[in-house]
A = this chain, B = another copy of it.
């Protein structure tokens, strides 16, 4: 299993419309990718580790698929729609990477 991580840096002066992201962009993402997607986790950055510090990322999104190929198969037909919606909620460039899941446990 792999996860695609989309991390939005907490840059000073950044525009990030969390409401639009959560209630418009992500439901669109879910609708378009869910047939191929295994899980979606979305987080809002709250704080760094030193008191009063900002988080490095204002938001993180983790999308799980069987493989990178499965992600590409799901994503490529909707790439223009999904990436075209990004300016509607942010002007920051996301850090995006593919990960192999090594451990996934609940307690």
Contacts and interface: CB of A to CB of B under 8 A. Distances in A.
A34 B105 CA distance: 10
A60 B41 CA distance: 14
B99 A45 contact: yes
Contacts of A76: none
B26 A103 contact: yes
Copies in the complex: 2
A30 B107 CA distance: 10
A62 to B, nearest CB: 8
Given A43-B99, A56-B95, A99-B60, A107 B3 contact: no
Contacts of A107: 34, 37-40
A28 to B, nearest CB: 13
B56 A103 contact: no
A98 interface: yes
A44 interface: yes
Given A45-B99, A97-B46, A105 B60 contact: no
Leading 4 A-B pairs by shortest Cβ distance: A43-B99, A55-B97, A42-B103, A39-B106
